[in-house]
Every structure is written in structure tokens, then in C-alpha cells.
Amino acid sequence: MHPAQIPELIARIALADPRVRREDPVEQTAQIDMWAGILADVPYEYALQAAHAHYAKSTWPILPADIASRWAADVHDRLTRHTGTFEPTAHPELDPDDEAGYRAALAAERHAVATGQQPPNELRAITAGPAAAEVQARLDRMGTYMPPAVKDVMAEYRPEAVERERLIRSGLADPRSVACPWGACRAPQGQRCRTNGRDRRDYHPARIEAAQNAERNAA
């Protein structure tokens, strides 16, 4: 919260509890400085809602620590429920090789969750996937080249196929079903994505999203 918002916050709280506001000018200045330091990380609207919640249950004057502790508890709860797993398909503008860009996007996502601008990406949302029959149908379209037990043993030697299967089991479409729209790649349908002329084990996020859109449009 910006220090300039503190006088307005105190004035609005004082409408419900005049005891909160100091009358002496020197004390008012000291009070504003104190509240501004304690509530520096708390959004104005949240502080006002916290005051409403406080007086709905208590007749005691609210303290800035009451608001700050409530905010800290909510931030902790959101970040605890947030898995922190970054979903590349949500950022098709980023090149998968841009590690700095991904770190910045991940930090921005965590900040948005902490401040309540974005809901936590909970485990249920990540692990929830399509029905088993749908997953198997997609895997069948890839083709079955070896028994599952052999696939597990050979996984190290067939990373690109393993990645395709992982995406399908996660509820995403097979990226090879469409051409890659990423400008620096443009791999045609059925071929791997490439970076600097070399085949990749994974797929550009833009291609994964394009496969998802194509599958939705075909449904």
C-alpha cells in the first residue's frame, strides 16, 4: 500500500470506530508513518476488507498488525496450495530455450498468486486429465511399436516418443499432429521441432497449443 493511501484508510475505518484515528497532528503523522511501514506490502482494498471482517466479529479497535497478519496468512495459504509448476503452453510467446524468460515468467506468476491476482495452480488441476479411454485412443494414434514393459526399459533411448506420450497422458494433443508455428522452427507435421538446426526432444509451446486448438476445432 502506498503511504498516501494510509490517511484515507484510517479515515474510513474511523467511520466505524473513531477510536482508531489520532486527533493530535503530531500523533497523526506518527500514526500514518507507523501504519505505512506495517502495511507496506498489503493492498489498499485488502486492508479495507480486513477491517470490515474485523469489526464484523470484534468490538476491539483494529491494529495494523491485525491487517498485516491476516494478509501474511492469506499469502502463505495461496502459495502453499500453489504447486509452482510452470505451464509452458500458457506462454507461447516464450522460446523454450529462453531460460531467463522462463525464470522471469515463473517469478511473475508466483507474485501474482501471492498477491491474489491469479488463483493458485493446485495439484488437482495439474493431475486431472482426460478419461483413460481417451488417453488410450490418443496413444493408439501414435502407434504401438513395442510392449509397454519394453517401452519402459527403452525410455532413455526414445526420449522424443516419451515426451509425446507424456503430453498425451497430461491431456494435451499430440504435437506432431500439426506443423510448428514457431518462427524459428516451422517443423512440418509429423516431424520433430528443431532449434538451431538440431532436433529437439520436447516441443515448442506454440506447437502444443496449436495441436490443442486443432483438436478442439475438430471436435
Tell me which of 169 and 123 has the higher pLDDT.
169
Q: Is it the case that residue 124 has pLDDT exceeding 80?
A: no
Inside any domain, residue 155: yes
Q: 76 in helix, strand or coil?
A: helix
pLDDT in tens, 142-164: 555 455 544 454 445 456 666 66
Q: How many Cβ atoms are within 10 Å of 105's Cβ, its own excluded?
A: 17
Q: For residue 89, which phi and psi values (nearest 5 degrees)?
A: -65, -15
Q: Is it the case that residue 4 has pLDDT exceeding 70?
A: yes
Among 22, 55, 81, give the residue marking a domain's end.
81
Q: For residue 43, which phi and psi values (nearest 5 degrees)?
A: -65, 145
Inside any domain, residue 90: no
Inside any domain, residue 119: no
pLDDT in tens, 90-114: 667 777 667 777 777 777 777 777 7
Among 64, 81, 98, give the residue marking a domain's end.
81
pLDDT in tens, 39-70: 998 999 999 999 999 999 999 999 999 999 98
Inside any domain, residue 96: no
Inside any domain, residue 103: no
Inside any domain, residue 168: yes
Most confident among 85-99, 158-172, 186-200 (mean pLDDT): 186-200
- Domains of the chain: total: 2
Inside any domain, residue 72: yes
Containing domain of residue 176, as a range? 129-218
Inside any domain, residue 94: no
